[in-house]
Amino acid sequence: MTTERISPPLIADEREMLRAYLDFHRATLALKCDDLSDDELRRQSMPPSTLSLLGLVRHMAEVERTWFRRVIDGEDIPLVWSDEGDFQVAYDARTSTRKEAFDAWQTEVGHARRIEAAAESLDVTAVNRKSGDVVSLRLVMLHLIHEYARHNGHADLLREGIDGTVGP
């Protein structure tokens, strides 16, 4: 499997730029997982941490679901892997498969893209029921870019530890 990653444009309006950077980071995470077996994707960074590439994919499914579906769209739905709302559960992918994790993640990315595209503007707001804060779609998109960038750094190190692959 080879993931196509398109570089964001150098000049674009704000919304197009945010979409492009978010998709770039989504593709980067997928790229870090290309051509690895389920066992390699489950390989943990170092005990006692359960951090793995597959755990990162599962975590980002939760992040996409929470910010776009639960906050912006106001859906009353549980997390994918924890009915108790524990985001840490997603990181433990010891019994997970590529198919399970990627199906969930791609489903949530699809919902996120639909919700973002349907929003009138980046100024659309919603209440984060957990914190009570009013947040804009702009903030959510920026937060997701930040979240992916942070975890893609983890993915870089995890991938290098698995097979020595480094780079973009």
CATH match for 14-163 among 1.20.1050.10, 1.20.120.450, 1.10.8.870, 3.40.50.10680: 1.20.120.450
The number of CA neighbours under 13 Å toward the Cβ of 99 is 0
Q: What is the pLDDT of residue 1?
A: 62
Longest Cα pair distance anywhere in the chain, in angstroms?
A: 46
Among 35, 33, 101, 22, CA closest to 68 = 22
Q: What is the pLDDT of residue 27?
A: 97
Q: What is the pLDDT of residue 163?
A: 93
Among 18, 24, 19, CA closest to 5 = 24
Q: What is the pLDDT of residue 159?
A: 95
Structure tokens at 140: 């959510």
> What single-letter amino acid sits at 69?
R
Whole-structure pTM value = 0.95
Distance between CA atoms of 91 and 81, rounded to whole angstroms?
Answer: 10
> What single-letter amino acid sits at 104?
A
pLDDT profile of the chain (168 residues), mean per 10: 86 97 97 96 88 96 97 96 89 95 98 98 94 96 98 95 87
Structure tokens at 126: 């919603």
